[in-house]
């Protein structure tokens, strides 16, 4: 692959205490890595390099979605204004019983198209038929950490399939695909099943991606049933010993925080879903103060309605200010830090993702700030958090390859994807009484 020179952009640099923007920079990409960043004109890319003019645009790390069920875009808007019990039992789990392999493939492609158009370059996905999802990731060119979701009711067989998926796909697509074991949740997997999952994870050298303490109701039910919080269950079954993405945690209790702080976990935070389903919020500030990592997430589009990490970032920051009554809470640089470098840690790539610097993966996006909703620009970091729309992302590069340029998708045929999905809709949207993949009974 020839070198790629991104010319004359403004480069966002975020650390834990500030967000800065370097004006008029060139970024040189060689292979799938950033080779150098320097003031415009100082780098010599050689005669064969491809040059991308990015004058006035902001270069920043591609956004990372640390917890999603991407193919659920198929059910976007299909279950509105209902509580969690109805959401699972009357809509989503009956609908998911209609899913066939091909649905996951096309749904994954659609969701990846949506995310590429929104500048989301990496996703930790937790769903079914994940070999199909992996196939879609291969084609789209995105980066993904994939886990085949398993319920305890699927027993040994389900677990083995999830493990086989890890064996087959870990490191595939030139390393763009990584994998996790992905048991559904403590309330749908018994202790032996969780222990067996951890065994597999350790044997395969991967982490675990799991829902936990999604609501206070789940925690209370666990306490009533067995005197343990869901987090204590995860500790006792060894889940927290391996690198783990914990989705949601809106229902955690104070005693859970020291447990999490002592283990290699990251929390996937999907505030739009929490608001929409009235789930409450995890005590994010207190948990981060205890050293627990947070990554931004969307959850599935059946609850979140989009896969837009800009919206997750904005809501995360707004909610911290709202909940505390302190406008100083979650300042702009902290929101950007979580969206980029901390999300990269939760995603399992602390050392070469979520930051623009030599040696890091060339996963980056170019954001246009020329629209009237962005002008005049007094603070690029503030604009990125509070004014930027997904549609301001112009160009998306993953692993050194351009996936979108000037808003044109280069790897995916959206019309074909939508046509395929349209053809399956009638079958997919059937709801047959008593047919569902599980019963929600936390």
Q: Contact residues for a copy of itself (CB under 8 A)?
A: 73-78, 80-84, 87, 110-111, 113-114, 117-118, 272, 274-280, 305-308, 315, 318-319, 321-322, 324-329, 331-332, 370-379, 382-383, 386-387, 389-391, 414, 417-418, 421-422, 425, 429
What's the closest the beta carbon of residue 87 comes to a copy of itself, in angstroms? 7
Q: How far is the CB of 72 from a copy of itself (least distance, A)?
A: 12
CB of 277 to a copy of itself, least distance (A): 5
- Minimum Å gap between C-beta 297 and a copy of itself is 16
Shorter beta-carbon distance to a copy of itself: residue 19 or 344 = 19
Identify which of residues 376 and 433 has a Cβ nearer to a copy of itself in the complex.
376
- Strand intervals (E) in 94-240: 120-127, 143-150, 177-183, 207-212
Give the up-direction half-sphere exposure of residue 372: CA atoms within 13 A in the CB hemisphere: 0
- Closest contact distance (angstroms) between CB of 64 and a copy of itself is 18
Instruction: State the nearest-atom distance from the C-beta of 322 to a copy of itself, in Å.
Output: 4
- Rounded to whole angstroms, the Cα distance separating 98 from 102 reads 11
Task: Tell me how far apart the alpha carbons of residues 436 and 58 are, in angstroms, rounded to a whole number.
Answer: 46
Tokens of residue 44, six digits? 């010599």
Q: Which is nearer to a copy of itself, 153 or 424 (CB)?
A: 424
Q: Looking at beta carbons only, is 179 or 304 nearer to a copy of itself? A: 304
Q: How far apart are CA 131 and CA 110, in angstroms?
A: 16
Nearer to a copy of itself, 50 or 431 (CB): 431
| Residue 1: other Cβ atoms inside 10 A | 11
Helix (H, G, I), strand (E, B) or coil at 388: coil
Q: In angstroms, rounded to a whole number, what is the distance separating the alpha carbons of residues 212 and 324?
A: 24
C-beta separation of 157 from 399 below 8 A: no
Of the two residues 28 and 60, which places its CB atom closer to a copy of itself in the complex? 60
Which DSSP string do the residues of 212-258 spell out, in sequence order? E--SHHHHHHHHHHHS--HHHHHHHTTGGGS-EEEEE-TT--TTHHH
Rg of the chain in Å (alpha carbons): 21
Between 87 and 169, CB nearer to a copy of itself: 87
Q: Is 430 left (phi over 0), alpha (psi -120 to 50) or beta?
A: beta
Taking the complex as a whole, the smallest distance from the CB of residue 124 to a copy of itself amounts, in Å, to 19
Q: Which residues contact 17 (CB under 8 A, 6 or more apart)?
A: 333
Task: Report residue 352 as tokens.
Answer: 């070469």
Quote the least distance from Cβ 373 to a copy of itself, whole Å: 5
Please report how close the Cβ of residue 343 comes to a copy of itself at its closest, in angstroms.
Answer: 20
Pairing of strands 408-409, 401-405: antiparallel
How many C-alpha atoms does 254 have within 13 Å on its Cβ side? 0
- How many angstroms separate the first and last alpha carbons of the chain? 51
What is the closest distance, in whole angstroms, from the C-beta atom of residue 139 to a copy of itself in the complex? 15
CA atoms within 13 A on the CB side of 400: 20
Contact yes or no for 54/47 (Cβ under 8 A):
no
Nearest distance from residue 418's CB to a copy of itself, in Å? Answer: 6
Nearer to a copy of itself, 10 or 237 (CB): 10
β-pairing, 364-367 vs 293-296, is unpaired
Segments of 62-201 assigned E as strands:
63-68, 120-127, 143-150, 177-183
Of 124 and 140, which has the nearer Cβ to a copy of itself? 140
Q: Which is nearer to a copy of itself, 233 or 402 (CB)?
A: 402
For a copy of itself, give the closer residue by CB, 204 or 377: 377
């Amino acid at each position: 692959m020839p070198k790629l020179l991104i010319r004359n952009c403004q480069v966002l640099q975020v650390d834990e205490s500030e967000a800065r923007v370097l004006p008029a920079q060139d970024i040189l990409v060689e292979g799938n890595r950033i080779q150098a960043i320097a003031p415009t004109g100082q780098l010599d890319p050689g005669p064969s390099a491809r040059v991308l003019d990015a004058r006035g645009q902001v270069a920043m790390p591609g956004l990372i979605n640390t917890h999603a069920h991407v193919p659920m875009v198929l059910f976007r808007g299909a279950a509105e204004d209902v509580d969690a019990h109805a959401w699972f039992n009357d809509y989503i789990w009956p609908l998911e019983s209609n899913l066939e392999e091909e649905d996951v493939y096309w749904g994954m492609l659609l969701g990846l198209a949506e995310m590429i158009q929104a500048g989301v370059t990496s996703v930790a996905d937790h769903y079914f038929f994940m070999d199909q999802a992996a196939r879609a990731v291969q084609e789209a060119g995105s980066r993904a950490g994939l886990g085949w979701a398993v319920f305890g009711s699927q027993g040994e067989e389900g677990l083995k399939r999830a493990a086989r998926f890890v064996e087959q796909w870990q490191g595939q697509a030139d390393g763009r695909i990584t994998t996790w074991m992905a048991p559904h949740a403590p309330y749908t997997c018994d202790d032996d099943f969780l222990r067996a999952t951890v065994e597999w994870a350790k044997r395969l050298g991967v982490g675990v991606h799991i829902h936990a303490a999604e609501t206070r109701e789940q925690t209370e039910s666990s306490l009533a049933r067995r005197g343990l919080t869901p987090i204590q269950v995860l500790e006792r079954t060894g889940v927290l010993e391996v690198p783990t993405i914990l989705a949601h945690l809106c229902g955690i209790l104070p005693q859970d925080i020291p447990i999490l702080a002592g283990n290699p976990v990251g929390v996937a935070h999907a505030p739009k879903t929490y608001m929409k389903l009235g789930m409450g919020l995890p005590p994010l500030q207190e948990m981060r103060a205890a050293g627990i990592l947070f990554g931004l997430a969307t959850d599935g589009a059946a609850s979140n309605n989009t896969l837009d990490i800009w919206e997750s970032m904005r809501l995360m920051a707004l909610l911290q200010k709202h909940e505390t009554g302190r406008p100083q809470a979650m300042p702009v640089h902290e929101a950007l830090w979580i969206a980029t470098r901390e999300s990269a840690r939760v995603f399992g790539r602390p050392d070469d993702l979520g930051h623009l610097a030599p040696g890091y993966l060339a996963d980056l996006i170019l954001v246009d700030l020329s629209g009237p909703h962005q002008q005049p620009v007094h603070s690029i970091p503030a604009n990125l958090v509070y004014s930027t729309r997904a549609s301001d992302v112009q160009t998306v590069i993953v692993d050194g390859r351009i996936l979108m340029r000037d808003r044109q998708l280069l790897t995916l045929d959206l019309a074909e994807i939508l046509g395929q999905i349209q053809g399956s809709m009638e079958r997919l949207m059937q709801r047959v009484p008593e047919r569902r993949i599980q019963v929600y009974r936390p």
